[in-house]
A and B are shown apart, each in its own frame.
Chain A
Amino acid sequence: MQPSSINAGTAAPISTTQRRRPPRNREALVGWLFLVPEFVGVAVFGLFPLLFSLFLSFCDWNMVGGLSAIHYSGLDNFKAMLHDSKVIAGLKNNVLYTLYTVPISMALALLAAVIIHSKVYFQSYFKVTFFIPYISSIIALSAVWSALFHPSLGPVNRLLTAIGVANPPKWLADTHYSLTSIIIIMIWAGIGYQIIIFLAGLSNIPQDLYEAADIDGANERQKFIRITLPLLGPTISFLVITLIMSSFKVFDPIAFLTQGGPNQSSTVLVYRIYEEGFQNFRMGYASAISWLLFLIVACVTFLTWKIQNKTTHY
Chain B
Amino acid sequence: MGVFSLLFLIPLFWMVSTSAKVEKDVMVFPIQWIPQQWNWVGNFKTVWMSKVPFALFYFNSLKLAILSTLITLFISAMAAYAFTKLEFKGRDTAFGVLLAFMIIPPEATLVPRYILMKWFHLIDSHAGIVIMNMFAVYFTFLLRQFMLGINQEYMEAAKIDGSGYVRSFLQIILPLSKPILATVAIIKFIWTWNDYQGPLIFIFNQKLYPITLGMQMFKDQYADNYAVMMMASLSAIIPLVIVFIVMQRQVINGITLGGVKG
Beta-carbon contact of A197 and B251 below 8 Å:
no
Beta-carbon contact of A138 and B196 below 8 Å:
yes
Interface size counted on chain B using CB atoms at 8 A: 93
Q: In whole angstroms, how far apart are the Cα atoms of A139 and B57 in the complex?
A: 14
Beta-carbon contact of A7 and B11 below 8 Å:
no
* A274 partner, pick from B86, B92, B110, beta carbons under 8 A: B110
Beta-carbon contact of A119 and B1 below 8 Å:
yes
* A139 partner, pick from B79, B114, B216, beta carbons under 8 A: B216
Question: Which of B40-48, B133-141, B177-185 contacts the other chain?
Answer: B133-141
Beta-carbon contact of B194 and A138 below 8 Å:
yes
Closest to A252 in B: B196
* B213-262 interface with A by 8 A CB criterion: 215-216, 218-219, 226, 229-230, 232-234, 236-237, 240-241, 244-245, 248, 251-252, 255-256, 259-260, 262
- Against A, the Cβ 8 Å flags (1 = close, 0 = not) of B146-178 are 001000100110010000011001000000000
Beta-carbon contact of B196 and A135 below 8 Å:
no
Known contacts A144-B15, A273-B107, A293-B108: does B156 contact A10 (CB below 8 Å)?
yes
Residues from chain B with a CB closer than 8 A to the CB of A248 are 105
Residues from chain A with a CB closer than 8 A to the CB of B226 are 147
* A136 partner, pick from B108, B114, B241, B259, beta carbons under 8 A: B241
Secondary structure at the A interface, as helix, strand, loop or mixed, is: helix
Known contacts A129-B5, A144-B12, A196-B259: does B107 contact A135 (CB below 8 Å)?
no
Beta-carbon contact of B87 and A49 below 8 Å:
no
Q: In whole angstroms, how far apart are the Cα atoms of A37 and B116 in the complex?
A: 18
Closest to B236 in A: A140
Question: Which of A85-93, A150-158, A170-178, A221-229 contacts the other chain?
Answer: A150-158
Known contacts A35-B94, A135-B241, A136-B240: does B104 contact A11 (CB below 8 Å)?
no
Residues from chain B with a CB closer than 8 A to the CB of A129 are 5, 8-9
Secondary structure at the B interface, as helix, strand, loop or mixed, is: helix
When A and B form their complex, what is the total count of cross-chain residue pairs whose Cβ atoms lie within 8 Å? 282
Residues from chain B with a CB closer than 8 A to the CB of A200 are 256, 259-260
Residues from chain A with a CB closer than 8 A to the CB of B87 are 4, 7-8, 11, 24, 27, 31
Residues from chain A with a CB closer than 8 A to the CB of B236 are 137, 139-140
- Against B, the Cβ 8 Å flags (1 = close, 0 = not) of A265-300 are 000001001100110000100110011011001100
* B134 partner, pick from A2, A41, A128, A256, beta carbons under 8 A: A41
Residues from chain B with a CB closer than 8 A to the CB of A52 are 112, 115-116
Beta-carbon contact of A46 and B27 below 8 Å:
no
Beta-carbon contact of A56 and B233 below 8 Å:
no
Known contacts A34-B81, A136-B194: does B91 contact A197 (CB below 8 Å)?
no
> Shortest CB–CB separation between residue A259 and chain B, in angstroms?
11
Residues from chain B with a CB closer than 8 A to the CB of A45 are 109, 113, 116, 132, 135
Can you list 9 A-B pairs with a CB-CB distance of less than 8 A? A38-B140, A45-B109, A52-B116, A143-B229, A147-B26, A158-B29, A200-B256, A249-B107, A286-B111
Q: Taking A137-B233, A143-B229 as given, write out 9 further A-B residue pairs in contact, using a Cβ cutoff of 8 Å, ordered by the A residue number.
A: A4-B87, A42-B101, A122-B2, A131-B252, A136-B240, A242-B259, A273-B111, A290-B111, A293-B107
Q: Which residues of A contact B (CB under 8 A)?
A: 1-2, 4, 7-8, 10-11, 24, 26-28, 30-32, 34-35, 37-39, 41-42, 44-50, 52-53, 56, 63, 112, 115-116, 119, 122, 124-133, 135-141, 143-148, 150, 153-155, 158-159, 162, 188, 193, 196-197, 200-201, 204, 234-235, 238-239, 241-242, 245, 248-249, 251-252, 255-256, 270, 273-274, 277-278, 283, 286-287, 290-291, 293-294, 297-298, 301
